[in-house]
Structure formats: structure tokens, C-alpha cells
A and B are shown apart, each in its own frame.
Chain A
């Protein structure tokens, strides 16, 4: 392992971040960024083309209309400006010529004076009118006819001027008149020709004009129809080109929104929509990739969380380590996972190693090295994610470790330190062949979480182990103490049996008469023997309570029986202490289910206390009371009492009231605690009422049992 921060991220990210996906990504985004060389037609181009055509058609229509307009106006111009005036001028010329001819004839033939002015006036108008006709003659034929007409007119005029001075009514005048008429007829014929020509011309013009109007109308309608059809076709094709792909996209988007992540747009239609479809697909792909990555991250988080829970659940160091290693190996596709703990500031053999599905312990194939690197990495929260073949020589790792990395096949290495608080505890080492990919950020994250839990779990497991060892030691010590107490108590019984037994023989004067003096001495011996006996019983009972062997064998009995036994045991003590012992026992049997020995012990202990704590003599009373469900046994004294502040502690083992200690009254502080255990064994209750300096009452209450269930007492002790 080498300190090489530059390797922590950069190579991993560039070389190993999902190498497998790189080849897939190319076909996933066809035409992304650059346009495909041969794709569907562009809608914009189509529209541009269509509108260009339409505009051209409109322009053509306008041109047609304009041309038609021009033509029409030219035709009208010719008709009104030339043909019609020519017609009028011709007609007027003919009229004037007629007037002149008529004036001349009437003058020549009849000499009527009225016709002379008509002739003169008409003759004077003729040249002007002729010019008018000539002015309106446009085409070649009109000009030719006008010229002929002038010739005819001038011929007539020349002749008229020759004959107008002839004497009217003469034969010569008549002949002249006839000749003039012939000239006139020539003129008239020409004028009529001109008239006929102009009329035909006018008609032709009219007809041509009409034809053109119809033609241009037809053209306009044709162009407009073509434009209309084209617009309709373009609209339809545009609609078809847009509607299908858009509907497809809308449906795909709806499916994607509804969570159908595999939905994709089938790219079709114009290039723009094709591109939009591809873009949607790309977004969906990207979203898939993100979702996959997120799912992977969340799976890792979940696994790390579960592993952490598993690790923390165990309080066994080995289990914690094995759980962590197995979890990491299974989840992160590692070929090998080893856990190296720091022992005596060194790291070496893997404490636990997982390899090829097998867990092994103490795998010593790894060289040993100082723990400073791990401690430093732990302190800096550094995780090493690198390629073994890229670990630099001469780095911080010792040559032996460097060599070990060189020996192994090219691998992706992940080293995660772990610890507890400020102390590094070790490191997790994960390896897998480089070609299987480097460690992804989510894998690194998961390994770090597991490592953190591992540190926590190990710390707790170690603490727990220490605690457990301590508890075991203490328990062993306690057992030894209890055993010792029990053994000592038993061993004390044999000598006590001798003392008590021989004392009784002496007192019974089995060995001869006893003097009064001797009797007093024997009393002292007996008192102390009883004290010793009670003390031994207390110790023995305590050892049994502590060892859990203090159980009561309950049997139906009359509670007065154990009371009597206790009274007879305690009487010598009372006598010696000068305490008057009074008994207020019920005359009727008091049935309970109890252990006779234990009940006797309880009463004895209470009586013993009553006597002991009445140092100057006094009064002790044992009373019984039968209630509906309870039997109460109470012992009262008029002794020193218990200070109020000590009363709540009276059932605590070895606790002694402060005034008893002050007055040097002997005792062990076990009596009441034993009584309480006995009462508890009998499902009973007890309480203490005491006033310092006045006295104490201790009451025990036992559940009352049905009369008649009592069986004959084995001991056969009679109630006195």
C-alpha cells in the first residue's frame, strides 16, 4: 500500500469507471450532435419549397391579370381612339360630300338659288373633314382607302369647280351634273368600303378582346386551382408528417412519465421530429443510466446498512470480523477480502480472509509491516482505490509489501482503514482482477460504511469481551466465596454440636452435680453457643440465598409450631438479657403453607433481635393475628429502636443501624435480610415500624391456607 493521493481517483475514474458500458453507449445515441448524412427530409425545406411555389403561382396570376389588363386597355384605346372616330369622320365626310353633290346638282339642274350656299358651305368643309378622316386612319388599308377617298374627293372637287359656273338648266349643265354624280358615286363607293372595313375592324377587335379575357380568366382559374391543390396537398402531407410522430412522442412521454422506463420513441417523420425523437430517447437512456446508478448506490447503501446491523448485533469479536468480511466479499464482487488487525503496532497476517467462497483465519501469506500507514490513513479518512500494477516503487509501503503487490496478478485494490474513536484498529483489503473493473464510487462508499461499522462493532465486542471476562472472574470469585462460606459454616457445626451436646449433658448433671457457680458459668457458655449457632445459621442461609439454593419446601402447617420451637431456642437468651418474653398466640390453629425450618428461623431471628436490641432489659412480645386471608406474626420490643434515616436500609445485607454500631451491639446485619428472603419465599409481606428510643415492631404476613389441609407434622412437636 502506498501513499499516492494522485492515484486515489484519477486513474480509477479514467480507466475503470464502467469500462464495459463504453462500447454500448455508441449505438445508443445515433445522430446525436451531428446530423445523419442521409436522413428523412427536412420539414423546413419542404415548407420553404411549397411556399416558394405558391408565391410563384401567385406572381404568375398577377402577371396574367396585368397583361390582360394591358391588352384590354389597348384594344379599347384602338376602338375608341381610332376606329370609332374614323367611322364617325367617314360618315360625316360622306354626309358633307353628299350635301355638296346635292347642292351642285340642284344648282346645275334647276338653278335653285338655295342650293348654292349648301354647295359652297359643304365644299368649304370637305378638306377639313378629309383631314379628320386621314388623322384617324391607322392601319395600311385604312390609309390606302383614305388616300383613295381623298383622290375621289379631289377629283369631284376639281370637276365641280369646272362646272359650278355653268348656267343652270342648260344641257351642258345637265351633262355636267350627271358627270359630277358619277364622280360622287365613285367617292361614295370608296367611303362605303372604308366604312365596311372599319366596321369589320371594330368587330374583330371586340371579338379578340373577348377571347383574351376568357383566356386570361381561364389561366387565372387554372393557376389558382393549382395553387389551391398544392396548398391543400402540402397541408395534408405536413399534417400527416407531423401528427404521427408527435402522437408517438406524446404517447412515449406519457409512458415514460407513468414509469414505463423502457418506452422509446420510434424516430420517424421529418428530420426535425426525428431529431426530437432521438433526443427524447437519449434523455430516457440517460435517465435509465442515472436510475441504474442510483439503484446500484441504494443497493449498496442498503447492503451496507444491513451488514452494519449484523455486525453491531454480534458482540463476539470473531463473529464481527467474519460477518464484515463475508458481507463485503459477497456484495462487492471481490475476489479476495482480508481483514488485518493491528497487533502490537504492526499489521501482517490477515486475521480473517475470504477467498473463493471460503473463510479462513490467520492467513500468514502477507508480509508484516508497521501500523503507522493505516493509522495515518484512518486519521485522514483516506481510502485507497488503485491498481496494483500502478503502485509506485519507493513509495511509503515497505519493499516487502511492494514486492507482494508486484507478485500478484494485476488487480483493483481497495484498502479501507477502520477504527474506533481516535484509534485505528486495522484495515480491510479488497482485491479483484483488474479486467473485472475498478472499484466504483458506490462500492467504495459501501466498503467505507462497512468498515466504519466494523470499527464500531469490534470496539464494542472487545469491550464486551473484557466485561464478560471480568464478570466471569467476579462470578467465580463469588462462587468461591459462597462455597467457602458454606464449607466454613458446615465445618463450624461439628464443634458446635460438641459444645451444645456436652453442655446439655453437664446441665442435665449426667456427669455429676453442678454447683450454682458452675451453673452460672455454663449459662454463659450456653448463651454464646446459641449466639454462635445463630450466626452460623445466618451465614449458611446467606450462602444459600446467594447461590440460589435457598428455596422453601412448602407444606401445610400450623404456624404456632415453628413459633414454639423458636421460643424455646431463644428463651435462654432472653433470660440472660433480662428481657421479659411475652407470647400472645392464638388458641386456634393458624394454617399456612410453609417451610417449618425457615419459619422457625424467621421467628428466631426476629426474637433474637428484639432481645439483642433491648440492652438494658425490657419487654418483648410475640403476637399472632388471623385475618380473613392473612396470618400475621409480629414481634415487638421496648428496645432502642431504629433511627428513622436507617429504616429503609434495614433489609439490606450486612447493613446495621447506626445506633447499634455506636452501642457496640454484636451482629452481622444479616438477620432481617434473611427474614425477608424467607417471607418472600412464602409469598408473604413484612414491614418494620420503629421509633428510636421507644422500640420496634416487625410484622410478617403469610397467606392463610384452608384449615384441614394440615397434615401430621413429622417432628411431632406438641404445642405446649
Chain B
């Protein structure tokens, strides 16, 4: 079963994503901040990580860079969730090594579609 880790500090959004992903047949792990995300990812090695950029403590960008720097996690699929749709934010995300980004507010259906697209890339 495909495992997706969701790192999102907004509990309601987190619950929404977890609900929709599980409904769509994914196994979902959820954390509320960057450090927990990093620890949890290294422990469970999920197939895809949904990273909110603005998180307390360690930002999604830092988590992404740390993952890409570590050979064990360098190949992970990473998709950002961001409230900032500006080019500079997007560029920073892509430079940090993200596979895709989803701008808030998003449609849950679109989220699932993006996630599955990203995962398909992994398979191929």
C-alpha cells in the first residue's frame, strides 16, 4: 500500500487531506511540524511527502533540503503545499528539490490528482 506523509500545522487542513487521501486508498501519516516530519520520514520511509512550507520551527523548505541532502531519502517524492503562489516561493520550492507544489486554497480532488501524478512518476 502507498504511504503518504502529510506535514501540515493547520489541524483542519491536515484532517481534510488525511481524510481525502485515505478515502482514495492511501496509507497516511500526519505530523504537525518540520522536525517531526523529518524524524517520521526517516523512520517510516513513505512513498510521498506532502509538505506545508510555512510550519513552526523548521520550514517545509528546510525539511525538503534535509531530505534531498540525505542519500537515503534523496529519492523521495515531495509535493509542497503553499499559501504563497508567487514565483519566488515556487522557485525556492523547486530549487529545494520538490516534485510539484499545490497552492492553497486547493480542491481536494485536484490534490489527489497531483499526488497520483507524482507517484506515477516514481513508478516510471
Binding site for B on A (CB under 8 A): 490, 493-494, 496-502, 504-505, 508, 510, 533, 540, 544, 549, 551, 553, 597, 714, 716
Contacts and interface: CB of A to CB of B under 8 A. Distances in A.
Nearest to B10: A494
Contact of A498 (B10, B23, B83, B85): B10
A45 B107 CA distance: 130
A504 B108 contact: yes
A496 B10 CA distance: 12
B2 to A, nearest CB: 20
Given A505-B20, A510-B23, A716-B117, A496 B105 contact: yes
23 contacts: A490-B54, A493-B105, A497-B83, A497-B105, A497-B106, A498-B10, A498-B12, A499-B105, A500-B106, A500-B107, A501-B13, A501-B108, A502-B12, A504-B108, A504-B109, A505-B108, A510-B19, A510-B20, A510-B23, A533-B105, A544-B86, A549-B86, A597-B85
A128 to B, nearest CB: 176
Interface string B52-96: 001000000000000000000000000000011111100000000
B16 A505 contact: yes
Contacts of A490: 54, 83-84
A153 to B, nearest CB: 180
A501 B107 contact: yes
Nearest to A496: B105
A497 B20 CA distance: 14
Nearest to A552: B87
A551 B87 CA distance: 8
Interface in B1-31: 10, 12-13, 16, 19-20, 23
Contacts of B100: 714
Interface residues of B, number: 22
A496 B104 contact: yes
B16 A493 contact: no
Interface in B99-124: 100, 104-109, 117
A contact patch SS: helix
Contacts of B109: 504, 508
A321 B86 CA distance: 48
A497 B17 CA distance: 11
Nearest to A597: B85
Contacts of B88: 549
Contacts of A714: 100
A374 B41 CA distance: 80
Nearest to B88: A549
A501 B87 contact: no
Contacts of A500: 105-107
B59 to A, nearest CB: 14
Nearest to A489: B83
A562 to B, nearest CB: 14
A508 B108 CA distance: 10
B15 to A, nearest CB: 9
Given A493-B83, A497-B106, A501-B105, 15 more contacts: A490-B84, A493-B104, A494-B104, A496-B105, A497-B105, A498-B12, A500-B107, A501-B13, A502-B16, A504-B107, A508-B108, A510-B20, A533-B105, A540-B85, A544-B86
A357 to B, nearest CB: 53
Contact of A494 (B20, B23, B83, B85): B83
Contacts of B54: 490
Contacts of A497: 10, 13, 16, 83, 104-106
Taking each of B13, B83, B84, B100, which has the highest tally of chain A beta carbons within 10 Å of its own beta carbon?
A: B83
Contacts of A540: 85
Contacts of A496: 104-105
Given A490-B84, A533-B105, A551-B87, A498 B117 contact: no
A494 B13 contact: yes
A540 B19 CA distance: 30
Contacts of A716: 117
Contacts of A544: 86
Contacts of B87: 551, 553
A501 B111 CA distance: 10
B39 to A, nearest CB: 24
Contact of A501 (B16, B23, B84): B16
A103 B108 CA distance: 212
A190 to B, nearest CB: 176
A507 to B, nearest CB: 10
Nearest to B84: A490
A525 to B, nearest CB: 13
Nearest to A537: B85
The 5 closest A-B pairs by CB, nearest first: A497-B105, A493-B83, A497-B104, A501-B16, A496-B105
Contacts of A533: 105
A544 B10 CA distance: 25
Nearest to A490: B83
* Most chain B beta-carbon contacts within 10 A, residue among A490, A501, A553, A597: A501
Contacts of B83: 490, 493-494, 497
Contacts of B84: 490
B118 to A, nearest CB: 11
A323 to B, nearest CB: 44
Contacts of B12: 498, 502
A500 B106 CA distance: 7
Nearest to A553: B87
A533 B84 CA distance: 14
A706 to B, nearest CB: 24
A714 B90 CA distance: 13
Given A510-B23, A716-B117, A501 B85 contact: no
Contacts of A510: 19-20, 23
Nearest to A595: B87
B19 to A, nearest CB: 7
Contacts of A501: 13, 16, 20, 105-108
Given A504-B108, A510-B23, A533-B105, A498 B16 contact: yes
A501 B106 CA distance: 7
Nearest to B100: A714
B9 to A, nearest CB: 9
A168 B100 CA distance: 214
A551 B85 CA distance: 12
B122 to A, nearest CB: 16
Contacts of A597: 85
Contacts of B10: 494, 497-498
